Structure 1
Amino acid sequence: MANEEYFVLEGGDRMPRIGFGTWQATDEELEKAVESALEAGYRHIDAAPVYENEKALGRALKKWIGANPSRRKELFIVTKLPPGGNRPDLVQECFDASLRDLGLEYIDMYLIHTPFAFEHVPGDFHPKNPDGSMRVDHTTDLIAVWKAVLKLKESGKVRHVGVSNLNEEQLKRITSVAKPACLQVEVHLLCQQKELVATATKLGIPVVAYSPLGSKGLADALSAKTGREYPDLLQLPAVLRIAERHARTPAQVLLRHALQRGIAAIPKSTNPQRIKQNISLWDFALTEEEMAELSAMDRGEDGRICDFSFFIGIDKHPEFPFKK
């Protein structure tokens, strides 16, 4: 299903196993970062309307493609159905909005971003009640939404469709209708999702890791809010020791661990040097002993950072995917 550098999808399309994440970046930061990423060789770019920067990404892509439309074929662009669009009658509208904002004629991969849903409020991706809790849509029919997403392929404007943030039960339920082209979930050293990854692999579904470096920005924000400590994965002694042994950065060690598990990863950075380093992964490998040491650091559910606790009340949704 995968060689070292890409997954082969239906029809022979190639999804690079190192992509570039765009979450938590301002428009100006993103345009500069995407330019650096494309120059460094990234071709898999991960986006979402809830990041509220798709128009900036579209400008960066337009600049890179320039007067040579054939360059579009080099790219693998991923975006997602926002939680406020998790109704069958809203799927087409949301997809068209992303296509328009990105300035593209087609999307390579379209994902259901979350199995839970917010109420649909035009212009507001995170609608809240007066008390700060989310305006949750409890009537979501995940299978009906999945069928509507599958229908998007009929137009030829999306080549592949997949899912994100699902648990094992939800993934199996979705797959009983049609196998998704990928599963994007949080995976990093402390949250390795071994059972979910094994299930997806058995089903022939490529896994893409978001926050593969631990999403320090989110971790710091949650720590300040909750008082819970989130370790900095880039400063863990074992990671530093292995990085020094290979003359690599801690980030390269973390990404290499994911790759050798058979997982794709979408690290995010706005630093040009780190952007280059994070894709320079193909000329070294971790030993079996190093892989075993790093794999033993998994904390399971306790290692999860993006548990959506910042969406107050979302854990009451019937499709909330994580243990309560």
Structure 2
Amino acid sequence: MNIQMIEAAATRARSITRRTPLLSSPALDAIAGRRVLVKPECLQHTGSFKFRGAWSALTALPEDQRAKGVIAFSSGNHAQGVALAAQKLGVPAVILMPSDAPAAKIEGTRSYGAEVVLYDRTTESREEIGAAIAAERGLTLVRPYDEPQVIAGQGTCGLEIAEQAAEAGVTEADVLVCCGGGGLTAGIALALEARAPGLRVRPAEPEGYDDTARSLHSGSRERNAQEAGGLCDAILTPMPGELTFPINARLCGPGVVVSDQEVLRAMSLALRHLKLVAEPGGAVALAAALFHGDELAGEAVICTISGGNLDPAMLARALEV
């Protein structure tokens, strides 16, 4: 993985992916006690950053291989990203999704023309199911984070952060990134290493699913005790990725861990002050920026809102906090 791969992914995505803005709000600055700059990937195609990695991975495939179709597994955001990228490129897509994924994400994936296969994430292995279907149908598996071209695509978000932070006069700051398997974290970290070395990535995770924070502390990949049932479904992964963790271990600062209550508050504040809809997993970095200032350094902090795909009931729950 290198900056050249990220730049090549950006070239292939030009005029396709959205260059999301870097937003701010005086009210959020006051809560955080420092300047807060928000990168709203909830405004990206399909409502999350995942379209960046999906487009990068599919467009990097040889045309004859891509034409046979692709398969992916995801709780929803990677699923929708791959489904839309496949639709735009005119190729078949099969998506494995956990049966307890939010209905909005399952419906959204189907709306992009993908075939959805549901599985029980507490008793079945998505990797084994995906490998079997891929072999049977001749499909190419597009992994959600442990895939170089996916990481490169997510890194295009980091290129934008580097440019936009410089435009905003911010050259030194912590960059809080919502972290599941670590693809977005690693991609942004690689981009910033090359284009804005004064910006340091900090992974943000929910309590009980803080495998990256624990792994960064111990120096080796650690597994979560459970993989389902948490509020932040979009970033509930078993453990840091094999490809992503070495990158994050080299480039990232310590992880920041937030509570579910802080996530719900951040969702409410994003809607109130930024007019943005953030799903729980997409709001963990904002929660870290707003409520964990004592763990951060500098007069400014940058954070991602990585996704905004949620059911109305979850949004209503956040607004009640």
TM-score where L is the length of structure 2: 0.29
Q: Which has the larger radius of gyration?
A: 1
TM-score where L is the length of structure 1: 0.28
